[in-house]
Amino acid sequence: MSFLDWIVLSCTLIFIIVYGVWKSRGQKDLDSYFLGNRSMPWYIILLSIIGTQASAITFLSAPGQAYSDGMRFVQYYFGLPLAMIVICIFFVPIFHRLKVITAYEYLEQRFDLKTRVLTSFLFLLQRALSTGISIYAPSIILSSLLGWNIYYTNLFMGGLLIIYTMYGGTKAVSYTQSLQLAIIFSGMFLAGWMVMHLLPKDIGFSEALHVSGKMGKLNVIVTDFDLNDRYNIWSGVIGGFFLALSYFGTDQSQVGRYLTAKTLTESRMGLLMNGLVKVPMQFLIMLIGALVFVFYLYFRAPINFNQGLLNKVHNSEYAPEMQVLEQRYDSLSVQKAGYVKALAAALKTENESEIEKVKSSLKAAETAGDTVRAQAGRLIKKADPLAEVNDTNYIFLHFVVNNLPKGMVGLLIAIIFLASWGSIAAALNSLASTTMVDIYQRMIRPDGTDAQNLRASKAWTLFWGIFSIAVAQFASGLGSLIEAVNILGSLFYGTILGIFVTAFSMKSVKGHAVFWGALLAEVFIVGIYAFNLVSFLWLNLIGCALVMLFAGLWQFVENFIAAKE
Amino acid sequence: MQETPEEKPPVFSRWSAWYWLVAGVLAALIVFFYLFTKNYS
């Protein structure tokens, strides 16, 4: 990074921290600290919801996903607008009417204390671990590409945002997220424009789309039904619906965002607008990845986008083998550049037979390139058995660091930080509110004054911040655990959703039945995952259905025994 | 829950109109993406 990049990065981050602290002065009790006195308009709710969901990995991984697997990942979001509608009809009115701070407060009113505590505990467990990974995942990418120390990067990534999150509570989180998103979208728009600008002069937007499409990267809709395929329209609409319903309806990091609204109407409008903009937004982010793919057809791509790993191999006994593979890959890149120029020319003249001929040659060269990349991956594994050779998350950042002008690289790195901070800050706020409201204030110190509660809330925010950084530091040495922790959310979301859906729809079921039904369902979900029976998106639907089934059966048996006695 | 006057939705007279709009836009997007996939593949 150049000096100018460092200036841009530092100024952007300092500006966000100062802005967050300044906008959130005057906190005096739990309502102001965790709900911002319920004063937010719908557009702040919308930006805050988007900022909480979109982590750095969203902006790094999605373009990389389009590069390597095409744009079909967009289907993952198809269930989200439908979930927004259901949440607006059933969830939000109840939360507003009861004036709760956390979603889990409602469960004690509907069931009992142990169900509230169980659900809070499941939430705290998965959210705390996944927040640690939200710190670690972008840090490892930045440290690998820029040569930064991973431990300091984790500290920098997770530490600075604690200042404004702890000081300003939810107001600081919401206002900084709005500003962060404005900067993020500007940067992503500039990055998309730069990809087009860097393509050869005779390749316009339409030609680039045609080339990308001919290479199978614009496969937005996949209609084949396969339970083990993560991204098709069926898993997207059905599985995605239950995932979004669980996430937005029962995860305090999101519930806490729309409970800050002035009125029920403002909450609903924020959620519905999210339903309108989320799918097109994700489509545009992935389109950048499909265009980066076209860029790397014309210009040399590295054999693996994770530069840190390549450097490791070059400094090992496997360096000569890697050099041979890289030479082979480079000659294939030259071939591909020739074919793609011929394909673009054939597309302009609409010569169908020539298009098919050149497309076949280009695809053959691409397949040969993928084979060499796989060989390089095996070589990397030999040099570093713990290495993660999948470089999907590194593709977009590699493009940014190596091709964008000075200043813009700093801006894009700042965007990685801001995107991380938005979701981590909301997570810390939700962890603190759940610990404070559902456990500390409910069971440990129910008679605290406003000042004491406020101090304790800030202390819990600090505690969860330090805990998350510790998880991130621990993850540094345990690469294989990362995927397991990422799937943790899917293991618990279905059960949590099932508890809420039972509360809303099965009026005869009592606390005892839903508590044991939820525990049983959780055991089944872990079993289904352990035996790899379905893709993780379906676990939310299955978990929800199992809780309802077991809770209903338990209540039936309880009623039956009571009647006999 | 009882609807209070300030809970009337903006633009439309009923919330159900907003829900149909969101579902309709999703359906339109899926059709657009289907045609997009067909056209460029």
Assess whether A202 and A312 both reside in one domain.
no
- Residues of B with Cβ-Cβ distance to A287 under 8 angstroms: none
Q: What is the pLDDT of residue A480?
A: 44
Count of domains for chain A? 2
A78 touches chain B (CB under 8 A): yes
CB A217 within 8 A of CB A67: yes
- Residues of B with Cβ-Cβ distance to A268 under 8 angstroms: 9, 15, 18
Q: What is the pLDDT of residues A48-89, one digit of tens each?
A: 999 888 887 778 888 888 998 899 989 989 999 999 999 999
- Residues of B with Cβ-Cβ distance to A82 under 8 angstroms: 23, 26
Q: Tell me the pTM.
A: 0.86
Assess whether A74 and A39 both reside in one domain.
yes
Residue A302: inside a domain: no
Residue A97: how many other CB atoms lie within 10 Å: 12
Choose among B23, B34, B40: nearest Cβ to A85: B23
- Residues of A with Cβ-Cβ distance to B8 under 8 angstroms: 265
Q: What is the pLDDT of residue A484?
A: 56
Q: Which of A360, A387, A414 is the last residue of a domain?
A: A387
Distance of alpha carbon A522 from alpha carbon A543, whole angstroms: 7
Assess whether A215 and A337 both reside in one domain.
no
* A212–B15 C-beta distance less than 8 A: no
Q: Provide the residue range defining the domain that includes A381.
A: 307-387
- Residues of B with Cβ-Cβ distance to A265 under 8 angstroms: 6-10
Q: Which of A367, A387, A407 is the last residue of a domain?
A: A387
User: Is the predicted pLDDT of residue B35 greater than 80, yes or no?
Assistant: yes
Q: What is the pLDDT of residue A483?
A: 54
- Residues of A with Cβ-Cβ distance to B24 under 8 angstroms: none
Residue A456: inside a domain: yes
Choose among B8, B29, B36: nearest Cβ to A280: B29
Three-state secondary structure of A77-116: HCCHHHHHHHHHHHHHHHHHHHCCCCCCHHHHHHCCHHHH
Assess whether A356 and A403 both reside in one domain.
no
CB A421 within 8 A of CB A178: no
Residues whose CB falls within 8 Å of the CB of residue A152, separated by 6 or more in sequence, listed in order: none
Q: What is the pLDDT of residue B8?
A: 85
CATH number of the domain that residue A279 is part of: 1.20.1730.10
| HSE, side-chain direction, 13 A CA sphere, residue A187 | 30
Using CB atoms within 10 Å of the CB of residue A560, give its burial: 0 to 12 exposed, 13 to 18 middle, 19+ buried: exposed
Assess whether A210 and A62 both reside in one domain.
yes
Residue A301: inside a domain: no
Residue A9: inside a domain: yes
Residue A526: how many other CB atoms lie within 10 Å: 14
Chain B interface test: which of A271, A276, A343 (most B C-beta within 10 Å): A276
Q: What is the pLDDT of residue A21?
A: 83
* B25–A269 C-beta distance less than 8 A: no
Residues of chain A with pLDDT under 70: 227-229, 476-487
Q: What is the pLDDT of residues A199-254, one digit of tens each?
A: 988 888 888 999 999 888 998 998 887 766 678 888 889 888 988 998 899 999 99
Q: What is the pLDDT of residue A481?
A: 47
- CA of A276: how far to CAs of A78, A269, A448, B19, in Å? 11, 10, 42, 10
Residues 1-40 of B with CB under 8 A from A: 1, 6-10, 15, 18-19, 21-23, 25-26, 29-30, 33-34, 36-37, 39-40
Q: What is the pLDDT of residue A177?
A: 84
Assess whether A44 and A193 both reside in one domain.
yes
Q: How far is B23 from chain A (nearest CA, A)?
A: 7
- Nearest chain A residue to B8 by CA distance is A265
Residue A361: how many other CB atoms lie within 10 Å: 16
CB A92 within 8 A of CB A267: yes
Q: Does residue A194 or residue B1 have the better pLDDT?
A: A194
Residue A394: inside a domain: no
CB A21 within 8 A of CB A425: no
- Residues of A with Cβ-Cβ distance to B35 under 8 angstroms: none
Beta carbon pairs, A and B, within 8 Å: 71
Assess whether A64 and A211 both reside in one domain.
yes
Distance of alpha carbon A457 from alpha carbon B21, whole angstroms: 40
CB A517 within 8 A of CB A565: no
Residue A262: how many other CB atoms lie within 10 Å: 17
Residue A465: inside a domain: yes
Residue A189: inside a domain: yes
Choose among A85, A214, A218: nearest Cβ to B19: A85
Assess whether A505 and A380 both reside in one domain.
no
ipTM above 0.85 for this complex:
yes
* A221–B30 C-beta distance less than 8 A: yes
CA nearest to A551, candidates A161, A233, A229, A111: A111
Assess whether A268 and A314 both reside in one domain.
no
Assess whether A443 and A348 both reside in one domain.
no
User: Is the predicted pLDDT of residue B2 greater than 50, yes or no?
Assistant: no
Assess whether A180 and A45 both reside in one domain.
yes
Written as six digits, the tokens of A281 are 């937004």
User: Is the predicted pLDDT of residue B1 greater than 50, yes or no?
Assistant: no
- CA of A418: how far to CAs of A28, A176, A307, in Å? 27, 9, 23
Assess whether A255 and A333 both reside in one domain.
no
What does the mean pLDDT of chain B come to? Answer: 86
Q: Which of A365, A387, A409 is the last residue of a domain?
A: A387
Residue A393: inside a domain: no
Q: What is the pLDDT of residue A54?
A: 84
